[in-house]
Amino acid sequence: MLFYLILQSAGVIVESRISLEVSTNLYNQNYLQVKRDKMAHPLSVKNNKSTETENHELEIKFLLNTKQAAALRNNILKIKNISYEGRFYEKTMMFDNQEKTMDKDDARLRVRQISDPKDSKNYTIEFSYKRRIKADGGIKKEEEIETSFKTDIDSFLQILSKMGYQLVSSYERYRETYILNGVKITLDEFPFGYILEIEGDNSGIHQICKLLNLKMKKSYPLSCDDAYVDLCKKNHIKPKDHILFDDLEMPKLE
């Protein structure tokens, strides 16, 4: 009830409640069942094993300079039956609390504002939690949960602040997306360079890498902010918390 009051005070109208899919384990199963059956909480208790499987994703990334990105884009468009999904501007903001829970868990709590063009007032908000699990042979396994909606960004950020989460870093990018047989290919333009990301199942990722003549051993296993930090260290520049296109001191991938 308190959460609803906070939302309403920020001008967000709650029209309905949706059951939350919750993972169960040996320690929380009875607790969740009591909340659902005796306290009327709208919980849908799921088996822990199946939920983990649904929330995990496989992906691989490659760092590119401007010339490499242009050549790769041409190769992507030559793939038979490839579907182009568009190009959008995105601003991603990462949040953490005073206990630095996200940092300790190697996780990200993200609010992403998506629009076309950059200064459009018509935008979508993506709210997500992402946690790195492992990287095997260049393919990264992560846990990711996300939802998207339309609302006033300032009000939503105020809600996060009330809940104890503060902005710690942000970055801008232009993202163009392609789809082939359920595999998502994204070419991201960041202020410092480009990152190609391929998401899907293991066989789909290998197929795309083969079609684009990409060597999996040359993939980059970390996130875009890690790539920026590595680049700053190489250029003996102090990394900034916000990676923005209007930063005249921004280093570039060679």
The answer to whether position 71 is within a domain reads yes
CATH number for the domain that contains residue 136: 2.40.320.10
Q: In the predicted model, is pLDDT for residue 154 greater than 80? A: yes
The answer to whether position 253 is within a domain reads no
190 bridge partner residues:
193
Predicted local confidence at residue 136, as pLDDT: 77
- My answer on whether 213 and 147 are in the same domain is yes
Residues 126 and 108: their CA atoms lie apart, in Å, by 13
- My answer on whether 238 and 122 are in the same domain is yes
- My answer on whether 40 and 55 are in the same domain is no
The answer to whether position 194 is within a domain reads yes
- My answer on whether 16 and 103 are in the same domain is no
User: Which of these ranges, 38-42, 46-50, 148-152, 220-224, has the smallest mean pLDDT?
Assistant: 46-50
The answer to whether position 228 is within a domain reads yes
pLDDT digits (tens, 9 = 90+) for 22-81: 555 544 556 566 556 555 555 555 554 444 445 667 899 999 999 999 999 999 999 999
- My answer on whether 67 and 19 are in the same domain is no
Q: In the predicted model, is pLDDT for residue 137 greater than 90? A: no
The answer to whether position 249 is within a domain reads no
- Do 156 and 111 touch, CB atoms closer than 8 A? yes
Domain with 108, as residue range(s), is 47-243
Q: In the predicted model, is pLDDT for residue 20 greater than 60? A: no
Q: In the predicted model, is pLDDT for residue 1 greater than 50? A: no
Q: In the predicted model, is pLDDT for residue 17 greater than 80? A: no
The answer to whether position 252 is within a domain reads no
- My answer on whether 133 and 10 are in the same domain is no
- My answer on whether 99 and 34 are in the same domain is no
- My answer on whether 113 and 164 are in the same domain is yes
Closest CA to 185 of 168, 171, 199, 173: 199
The answer to whether position 189 is within a domain reads yes
Q: In the predicted model, is pLDDT for residue 192 greater than 70? A: yes
Mean pLDDT of 9-21: 59
- My answer on whether 188 and 199 are in the same domain is yes
Predicted local confidence at residue 132, as pLDDT: 83
- My answer on whether 51 and 171 are in the same domain is yes
The answer to whether position 250 is within a domain reads no
- My answer on whether 228 and 183 are in the same domain is yes
Peptide bond into 191 cis (omega under 30): no
Domain count, the chain: 2
Instruction: Name which residue leads in pLDDT, 52 or 144.
Output: 144
Residues 69 and 167: their CA atoms lie apart, in Å, by 31
Mean pLDDT of 192-204: 96
Average pLDDT along the chain: 86
Predicted local confidence at residue 57, as pLDDT: 72
Share of the chain above pLDDT 90, in %: 68
- My answer on whether 8 and 98 are in the same domain is no
Q: Which residues contact 211 (CB under 8 A, 6 or more apart)?
A: 75, 79
Which pLDDT band, with edges at 50, 70 and 90, does 138 fall under? Answer: confident
pLDDT digits (tens, 9 = 90+) for 72-124: 999 999 999 999 999 999 999 999 999 999 999 989 999 999 999 898 989 99
